[in-house]
Structure 1
Amino acid sequence: MSRLNLLEETRFEKLPVSVFTNQHAASINVAQRIANLIKTKQEKGEKAILGLATGATPVGVYAELIRMHKEEGLSFKNVVTFNLDEYYPMKPDAAQSYVTFMSEQLFNHIDIEKENIHIPDGTLPESEVADFCLNYEKKISSYGGLDLQILGIGRTGHIGFNEPGSAPNSGTRLVTLDDLTRRDASRDFGGKENVPTKAITMGVGTIFKAREIILMAWNQKKAPIIKKAVEGEISAEVPATYLQLSDQVEFILDSDAASELTRFDTPWLVRDCVWDAKTIKKAVIWLAKTVNKPILKLTEEDYNNNGMAQLATEKGPVYNINIDIFNKLQHTITGWPGGKPNADDSQRPERANPAKKTSIIFSPHPDDDVISMGGTFIRLADQGHDVHVAYQTSGNTAVWDDDALRYLEFAIDFAKVQGNDASTLEQTYKDVRSFLEKKKPNQPDIKELLTVKGLIRKGEAIAGARFAGLKDTHIHFMDLPFYDRFKASSKVSFEDDIIQTMELLKKYKPQQVFAAGDFADPHGTHKVCFNIILTALQRLKLTEDWIKDCWLWLYRGAWHEFEIHEIQMAVPLSPQEVKRKRLAIFKHQSQKDLPVFPGDDSREFWVRAEERTSETAKAYDQLGLAEYEAMEAFVRWEY
């Protein structure tokens, strides 16, 4: 690409951005740049002064630096580090402290001198913090300033812990954390209420003094804030926008984090496009939303005034384009998610044959099935398909402690009423009570408590699936091993999970598999569960003939919904079906009224599910299609 074309394509971007296929490749690039800096300084007999970040973003960078140290002899003897921040108050040996993080992720594995490591002190009396911060700044200056500062970015737009409202000339100081930042950290602390409300952080002004600044961001969750930071106006509400003022900064992104930048999201606004079917569909739907018109009312003037003149010229007349996209959207709508028997299926999202399909709905948690596709679940059962539901994990981390006690108390009372010996239950109850009285934030539950919580979720799942029309023989609890292993370590093998999933698939040989494709899940469980299913299907494809007729459909709804241009099957729901879905969700009483892990959305699951499906139906209506009460959306995944 010529320099002129590159400038045109990136004209909405107010600072340099490099985009890599995935975070692994990006992390290796950043690590190599750090290594080159260290080596250059070594050759000159100088120290390399690094500003380091914590969190999930730089983990891959640190892993590559460790590899280079162990395999290539990269030495850190001449390296001096200053960490961006630390929670306050925070003991250095706490699991959530950044001292612990840096030791585990980097320092314990390289030859850096301990006296060259600097991390804000979270143990100081508050009266001493201001002097510490001043001395932190002086110490950085005594080394001649930072050679390189690496950054992540929070969803508030914070860099370090410089939250919205931070000044561009701010120095190292004690700050109050934004509520969203604390929510994002809540899983590490066993609940938002346990996350410190304050932190010590380098200031924006401190960061700006670095001779080079690299901000890294990975995954779709960071895409909205990256767009604001890169293309938005400079604002104290998004502190990362201050980086637009620096000549030394570069954003290093993976393709997901970059996906909402104009050159990737709406490329027709910055350059000529290769107008394939996917791009045309997205562009026309975008245009209809932008000018607030149904698709069939879009004019050539609308195309020309909104960066789509090339499409009108190459593929026009525009009315033909409109009709084509309208028809494509119309063909995604079906009241027969298992395929309509004895019907022409050439324009339908699912096959007509076999008329009775075996469908397996994989549900990462015990309620994702009814929350995300409850209406379709019910309809598949009502239309006579052989529907199975497979709950991949126990969900036993998402039950309140007092709910578990309540169920144990019920079990003891019931045993006594029946004249049975309740001594074992009573001892279990005492053990659980004793544990809970001393339980620390984020401390893993004892086995007995996890068992009770798992049984609570299991009972609710059975009730929900029965309500949807399933026999007990069609309800499967996989209890995949990775879920409990994750409680002890994030580095686990998934081989036995994959094998177990393969066995279930081989037993029932489904024509349809439904899996959660909502990777914004705050636990990360959805993505892990999807990867297990995908790997199982890919392996089976090598040896099993039936797998060729097995389609994989992704659903969303618990956290986010698919964009309209992505949807390949939209199942409309009547008001009565919406009510039935709501009642199925109500069976999951432990997740009402406030679940343990609600994510960013404060609405109850049944409310968010109804409102999201209603919004999808309204979006179809506004584009000029039929008006429905609600719609559940699906995307087919080619494997």
Structure 2
Amino acid sequence: MARLNLLEETRYEKLAVTVYPDQQTASKQVAKRIADVIRKKQESHEKAVLGLATGVTPIGVYNELVRMHKEDGLSFKNVITFNLDEYYPMKPDAAQSYVTFMYENLFSHIDIEKQNVHIPDGTLAIDDVAAWCLEYEKQIEALGGLDLQILGIGRTGHIGFNEPGSAPNSGTRLVTLDDLTRLDAARDFGGKANVPAKAITMGVGTIFRAREIILMAWSKKKAPIIKKAIEGDISGDVPATYLQLSDNVEFVLDQDAASDLTRFDTPWLVKDCVWNNTLKKKAVIWLATELKKPVLKLTEEDYNSHGMAQLATEQGPVYNINIDIFNQIQHTITGWPGGKPDSDDSQRPERANPAKKRSIIFSPHPDDDVISMGGTFIRLVDQGHDVHVAYQTSGNTAVWDDDVLRYMEFAIDFNTSIKADQKETDRLKGIYDDMRKFIDTKQPNQIDTPEIRDVKGFIRKSEAISGARYAGLQDDHIHFMALPFYETGKTKKNSVGEEDIKLTMDLLQQVKPQQVFAAGDFADPHGTHIVCFKIILEALTRLKKTEDWVKDCWLWLYRGAWHEFPTYEIEMAVPLSPQEVVRKRNAIFKHQSQKDRPVFPGDDAREFWVRAEDRNRETAKRYDDLGLAEYEAMEAFVRYHY
């Protein structure tokens, strides 16, 4: 019976899927399976032939294999590896090279024979590439094929660098990279313009011939493409769907990467559910959205024909369910994000008391505050709350070099105009000349000089001050934390340290807020937003053990300029009038270095202020479509219980 139930739950899934609670657990299980292959081959005195992948996804697997080598005696003497791909052109000692990646994360820490390592050659002359690729295929075939191939997946659905349009029988070859793939790699290369346009990759057909294939994916960022790969139709538009044709494939996912699969996202379509309030709210909103109906117009027939008959039977009549969910959504709407004084707050998202609250808005980058919750920020100030803003990082990696020179030229001209000390002016000119020389020869992702990093930080600091002042804050309520984990000068940051947590605890103790607002963008497990959130959470958790005020401190999450919370998760929706939308826009405009074309725009070409306004209007429209009042725009928040 359990087997039948599982088959029913997974009937939309067209290949084998295993879901683990987190990527650490999943990575250890994949590493164990690789180790089992190696040991089995050792017992029969054979070579284990492995196909390996690069990128963030397999790092945990490689860490575990290194641990097993050092602590459990796992030997790699009998292992021969073939890597999936390499950028072209690419020098093997470049920081972005997959040769560098593999040695840093695996090969330099185990006892594999160097002659048994095979990685596509990014230094080949263009005329030699085709012959080299054919020889790569022959080497794999001569060894009897790959015993095990591990894969990640790109947001285009590529496996290896087999981009949309790749043929299912393709072999190792030179390919042109999709624009989205290059955008995703831009941070590693110091900008998309520096990402190679081509790569050498094993083909889909090469991958298919492996006796076992494991595709791994972690985080919500990968959830949409994972759903397409597992539940979608086989299509060259999503090369990973070709894996549905193999009986030797397994997708290994963490819960976040699996979250869009039908059995997790809309479980009522595949099984009976335990209908708690969250699931009921999600299902009713989903049904209204699917049918393009207001919540109060949903019928019993709508429920029965869309997998929700069980809910209708257990908790109906459906009109009562509709009224309940409608009221819950309505109660999230408030024009008083700090709580409405002298009012019944039993159906409101925030407490009425104290009437004037101390609030801290934590902003991971110097513009997240106004981009993500600028309307609410301004309203909190307008309504008389004691609002502080804390900029957690300097954001100094996201400023154009041209801006640095422009500000230095201004400083030199200003010194000259006020007849400042000539030695000081000459010193500035010397620093400026050194900056120009450095910038003229700067390599992609090369760390800026300390002086350039300082100026970039000053630019973002002055913009943040301007934005916060526009929102109504006095200077003593504007805090620049410059958390040490960020100040590497590189796009890759250090791990969080004790000093990051201590600085945050010190500020919290100074303000003793009743409200904390923090960025809640967790899709990227390595992004600055989630790192900054974890620091705040650790600080509050520690303080809660010793300080009574923390027990009355509510933590609200906001989202950035890309994605909003799902409607069923929203616990506070702050409507914005047309005039407030304009005020928010003006606050964002204070961040001139991020306007027009920011250094790291992501995969969305719109300016930040446009993204923010479109997102806020979309949130308001979702409420309107469900039958709620029609507002110009809305900012949304979710309360985090710690």
**Coarse TM-score class (shorter-chain normalised):** over 0.9
Report the counterpart of residue 291 of structure 1 in structure 2. Answer: 291
- How many Å apart are 1:541 and its aligned residue? 1.1
Matched, 1:450 2:486: no
Q: Distance in 1 between matches of 2:126 and 2:631?
A: 58
- How many Å apart are 1:493 and its aligned residue? 3.9
- Corresponding letter in the other structure for 2:365: H
Matched, 1:508 2:520: no
Residues 72-105 of structure 1, C-alpha deviations (whole Å, 9 max, x = no match): 0000000000000000000000000000000000
Q: Secondary structure at the match of 2:487?
A: helix
Report the counterpart of residue 179 of structure 1 in structure 2. Answer: 179
- Corresponding letter in the other structure for 1:193: A
- Corresponding letter in the other structure for 1:604: E
Q: Distance in 1 between matches of 2:110 and 2:275?
A: 50
Using the TM superposition, name which of 68-77 and 491-500 deviates more.
491-500
Report the counterpart of residue 207 of structure 2 in structure 1. Answer: 207
- How many Å apart are 1:522 and its aligned residue? 9.9
Report the counterpart of residue 266 of structure 1 in structure 2. Answer: 266
- Corresponding letter in the other structure for 1:205: G
| 8 Å contact kept, 2:220–2:524 | no
- How many Å apart are 1:559 and its aligned residue? 2.0
Q: Secondary structure at the match of 1:441?
A: coil
Q: Distance in 2 between matches of 1:349 and 1:423?
A: 58
- How many Å apart are 1:597 and its aligned residue? 0.6
Q: Secondary structure at the match of 1:12?
A: coil
TM-score normalised by the chain length of structure 2: 0.99
- How many Å apart are 1:468 and its aligned residue? 0.3
Report the counterpart of residue 544 of structure 1 in structure 2. Answer: 547
Q: Structure 2 matches for 1:98-497, cutoff 5 A? A: 98-421=98-421, 422-485=425-488, 487=490, 490-497=493-500
Report the counterpart of residue 589 of structure 1 in structure 2. Answer: 592
Give identity over the alignment, percent: 77
Using the TM superposition, name which of 492-501 and 396-405 deviates more.
492-501
| 8 Å contact kept, 2:447–2:489 | no
RMSD over equivalenced CA pairs, Å: 1.0
Q: Secondary structure at the match of 1:215?
A: strand
Structure-2 change in CA distance of 1:138 and 1:108 (3 Å) = same
| 8 Å contact kept, 1:613–1:631 | yes
Q: Distance in 2 between matches of 1:206 and 1:130?
A: 15
- Corresponding letter in the other structure for 2:599: V
Q: Distance in 1 between matches of 2:167 and 2:415?
A: 63
Report the counterpart of residue 629 of structure 1 in structure 2. Answer: 632
Residues 205-262 of structure 1, C-alpha deviations (whole Å, 9 max, x = no match): 0000000000000000000000000000000000000000000000000000000000
Q: Secondary structure at the match of 1:570?
A: strand
Q: Distance in 1 between matches of 2:389 and 2:504?
A: 13
Q: Distance in 1 between matches of 2:194 and 2:364?
A: 26
| 8 Å contact kept, 1:521–1:559 | no
- Corresponding letter in the other structure for 2:85: D
Residues 536-566 of structure 1, C-alpha deviations (whole Å, 9 max, x = no match): 1111111111100000000013221111111
| 8 Å contact kept, 1:518–1:558 | no
Using the TM superposition, name which of 542-551 and 477-486 deviates more.
477-486
| 8 Å contact kept, 1:485–1:492 | no
- How many Å apart are 1:524 and its aligned residue? 1.0
Residues 370-400 of structure 1, C-alpha deviations (whole Å, 9 max, x = no match): 0000000000000000000000000111110
| 8 Å contact kept, 1:518–1:559 | no
Matched, 1:58 2:62: no
- How many Å apart are 1:491 and its aligned residue? 4.7
Matched, 1:531 2:534: yes
- Corresponding letter in the other structure for 1:556: R
TM-score normalised by the chain length of structure 1: 0.99
- Corresponding letter in the other structure for 1:483: Y
| 8 Å contact kept, 1:359–1:512 | yes
Q: Distance in 1 between matches of 2:88 and 2:524?
A: 28
- How many Å apart are 1:487 and its aligned residue? 2.2
- How many Å apart are 1:614 and its aligned residue? 0.3
- Corresponding letter in the other structure for 1:548: K
Q: Secondary structure at the match of 2:517?
A: strand
Q: Distance in 1 between matches of 2:406 and 2:593?
A: 11
Report the counterpart of residue 80 of structure 1 in structure 2. Answer: 80
- Corresponding letter in the other structure for 1:6: L
Report the counterpart of residue 28 of structure 1 in structure 2. Answer: 28
Q: Distance in 2 between matches of 1:44 and 1:528?
A: 46
Report the counterpart of residue 641 of structure 2 in structure 1. Answer: 638
Report the counterpart of residue 560 of structure 1 in structure 2. Answer: 563
Structure-2 change in CA distance of 1:522 and 1:59 (3 Å) = closer
Matched, 1:42 2:45: no
Residues 479-520 of structure 1, C-alpha deviations (whole Å, 9 max, x = no match): 101101372865534211011000100111000000001234
Q: Secondary structure at the match of 1:146?
A: coil
Residues 569-601 of structure 1, C-alpha deviations (whole Å, 9 max, x = no match): 000000000000000000000011000011111
Q: Distance in 2 between matches of 1:276 and 1:149?
A: 41
| 8 Å contact kept, 2:397–2:489 | no
- Corresponding letter in the other structure for 1:293: K
Q: Secondary structure at the match of 1:319?
A: helix
- How many Å apart are 1:416 and its aligned residue? 0.4
Residues 106-136 of structure 1, C-alpha deviations (whole Å, 9 max, x = no match): 0000000001000000000010000000000
- Corresponding letter in the other structure for 1:443: Q
Q: Distance in 2 between matches of 1:121 and 1:321?
A: 62
Q: Distance in 2 between matches of 1:423 and 1:240?
A: 60
Q: Secondary structure at the match of 1:32?
A: helix
Report the counterpart of residue 605 of structure 2 in structure 1. Answer: 602
- Corresponding letter in the other structure for 2:371: I
Report the counterpart of residue 522 of structure 2 in structure 1. Answer: 519
| 8 Å contact kept, 1:522–1:599 | no
Q: Distance in 1 between matches of 2:37 and 2:598?
A: 47
Q: Distance in 2 between matches of 1:400 and 1:523?
A: 23
- How many Å apart are 1:427 and its aligned residue? 1.2
- How many Å apart are 1:290 and its aligned residue? 0.5
Q: Distance in 2 between matches of 1:22 and 1:218?
A: 8
- Corresponding letter in the other structure for 1:445: D
Structure-2 change in CA distance of 1:216 and 1:523 (3 Å) = closer
| 8 Å contact kept, 2:485–2:494 | no
- Corresponding letter in the other structure for 2:618: E
Structure-2 change in CA distance of 1:295 and 1:332 (3 Å) = same
| 8 Å contact kept, 2:299–2:319 | yes
Structure-2 change in CA distance of 1:630 and 1:565 (3 Å) = same
Residues 382-431 of structure 1, C-alpha deviations (whole Å, 9 max, x = no match): 00000000000001111100011000000100110001031121111011
Q: Distance in 1 between matches of 2:343 and 2:428?
A: 57
Using the TM superposition, name which of 536-545 and 143-152 deviates more.
536-545
Q: Distance in 1 between matches of 2:278 and 2:13?
A: 25
Structure-2 change in CA distance of 1:488 and 1:367 (3 Å) = closer
Report the counterpart of residue 4 of structure 2 in structure 1. Answer: 4
- Corresponding letter in the other structure for 1:544: E
Q: Secondary structure at the match of 1:150?
A: strand
- Corresponding letter in the other structure for 1:282: K
- How many Å apart are 1:181 and its aligned residue? 0.3
| 8 Å contact kept, 1:486–1:492 | no
Which of 606, 614, 620 in structure 2 is aligned with 1:617? 620
